[in-house]
Amino acid sequence: MATESRLSSRFESALVYAAQLHAAQTRKASDVPYVAHLLAVASLVIEHGGDEDEVIAALLHDAIEDQGGAPTRAAIVERFGPRVAEIVAGCTDAEVMPKPPWRARKEAHLAHVAVASDSIRLVIAADKLHNARALLHDYRLHGELLWERFNGGREGTLWYYRSMVDALRRGWSHALVDQLARELDELERLANID
């Protein structure tokens, strides 16, 4: 996975497309435009050696799940090719609305991650690392009120992130996963979880 020295016009097109898809979306319980998260995930993938398809997938990693399901997947195939669509689909825990029940959906996604390709794991690790950093930041600001934003609440959210570290590490090793584990250690320490 060697990053090319420059990203092509495909990246620019993906950036515009991602911004358009998520234009009305904000981060959970905040006014922060969702595109900030997409840019952060793409940045982590670039910084950790991702190729252009992986970086584009990082920009679009929530597109299928949050912005249209199967029709969005088809549009990604058409615009950016099957490999990008495959990576994005691998990051998706639900393609249908309404989404299946939270715990069952997360368990199925974790099972998929444990056997996913390195490209899918790279994007998921970057996504979860950025989310964990945001969780830690928000916990410092809001304390236990933070967990009201999440379907899994405190226990479910922390279970999911710790289980994600385990799933990502199954047969794969990467600095992003190590960083994710450290962020979770700190969050659990602050939240007094043994």
Residue of 52, 53, 65, 138 with catalytic role: 65
Which DSSP string corresponds to 52-118? HHHHHHHHTTTHHHHTTSHHHHHHHHHHH-HHHHHHHHHT-S--SSSPPPHHHHHHHHHHHHTT--H
CA distance 7 to 90: 23
Beta carbons of 131 and 123 less than 8 angstroms apart: no
Residue of 66, 93, 107, 188 with catalytic role: 66
Q: Is 41 exposed, middle or buried (0-12, 13-18, 19+ CB in 10 A)?
A: buried
Beta carbons of 133 and 161 less than 8 angstroms apart: no
Active site residue 65: yes
Active site residue 66: yes
107's CB contacts (< 8 A; 6+ apart) are: none
Beta carbons of 121 and 57 less than 8 angstroms apart: no
Residues marked active site are found at 65-66
